[in-house]
Amino acid sequence: MDTAFDFDRYDHIRPILWTGQALELLDQRKLPFAVEHVACHESDAVAQAIRELTVRGAPAIGIAAAWGVVLAGRAVEAADGAGALQQLEPALQRLNAARPTAVNLAWALARMRRVLATAGADWKQLLEREAQAIADEDLAANRRMGALGAALVAPGSGVLTHCNTGSLATAGFGTALGVIRAGMAEGRIARVYAGETRPWLQGARLTVWELQQDGIDATLIADSAAAHLMKTGAVQWVVVGADRICANGDTANKIGTYQLAIAARHHGVKFMVAAPSSTVDLDTADGEAIEIEQRDPGELYGVGGVRTVAEGIAAWNPVFDVTPATLIDAIVTEKGVVERPDTAKMRALFGG
């Protein structure tokens, strides 16, 4: 990508703000019609915000959880980090339990634990520095993977994305949406389509709004229109994010991603996963071992708070699925690109 790329022009939104006293989260449950923030003054409020999707997206929940540890530390007196870690363990576990599928949450908490394990009397400052580093590194990773991902796309291409993987889901710029931002800026991407992403409508409520804020045109489609869109020839790539990428390249992402990958292969459309290396989990061999979050079936009973389903109907609401590595053409991270991923290629790039 052109080194003069104007990041600020294409990236205005920030979902997480550390004020020095509290964690302010842009309330993603209320977008796009209300832009409101929730202030968290203690770690349990952060855990609740993660559970209730006030803050969401794999990298963003990792960053929020790291700040949650800083907040938990405010209530602790200890001579060194190891002493603090003992006292903080229950708060760390409550943060970790907030959502199960995105590995970035456990990854960020492991980083905070490691800092505590060796810190001296200045452990509070070191915790704060680590949380800020996690956020800063995420933004830098997104900008880098945006360039790497966009380079794979031929000029004039159309792309389809799913869920929200943008600034709202990260420290900024986004993963799949970062690739799209970079690709639009370079003229490689000519058309952007976003699926609604039932049941929580991250695509309809968040992605197309976020792109509109940055002056990028996108066309919304019903999730069920994706295969038909591919058949028309309007898209050459599906570009999505990830919540966990296994050692063999199997990838958990928002429910509906797997069916997009199947439809893409059928129609000769390429399939790209863009994620920071913090989403790569070499300890999980393949997708079978990933815990898929199940949410309240009530999320399927209505739209915008209006009930659309008769009483007494059963519903099943898994909110992630696993796309097998064999359906993925490229995994793009800030460390590099793995084309047609398998365990050997994944270990070669991430193993060290």
Using Cβ positions, the residue closest to ligand MRU within the complex turns out to be: 241
Q: Site map for ligand MRU, 312-351, x if CB under 6 A?
A: -------x--------------------------------
Among residues 59 and 149, whose Cβ is nearest to ligand MRU?
Answer: 59
Interface of this chain with ligand MRU, residues 98 to 157, rule: CB under 6 A: 102
**From 26, 58, 180, 269, residue interacting with ligand MRU (rule: CB under 6 A):** 58
Tokens of 191: 């058309």
Q: Which among 57-65, 90-98, 225-233, 329-337 is the span making contact with ligand MRU, rule CB under 6 A?
A: 57-65
Residue 320 CB, shortest distance to ligand MRU, in Å, is 6
**From 169, 179, 245, 269, residue interacting with ligand MRU (rule: CB under 6 A):** 169
197-216 b/e with 16+ CB inside 10 Å = b? Answer: bbbbbbbbbbbbbbbebbeb
Q: Site map for ligand MRU, 2-21, x if CB under 6 A?
A: --------------------
Question: Is residue 92 near ligand MRU by the rule CB under 6 A?
Answer: no
Interface of this chain with ligand MRU, residues 192 to 211, rule: CB under 6 A: 202
* Catalytic entry in 138, 243, 250, 281: 243
Q: Which among 52-60, 85-93, 228-236, 302-310 is the span making contact with ligand MRU, rule CB under 6 A?
A: 52-60
Catalytic residue list contains 243: yes
Interface of this chain with ligand MRU, residues 232 to 271, rule: CB under 6 A: 241-243, 253-254
Residues carrying an active site annotation? 243
> Which residues sit at the interface with ligand MRU, rule CB under 6 A?
56-59, 102, 163, 165, 169-170, 175, 202, 241-243, 253-254, 319
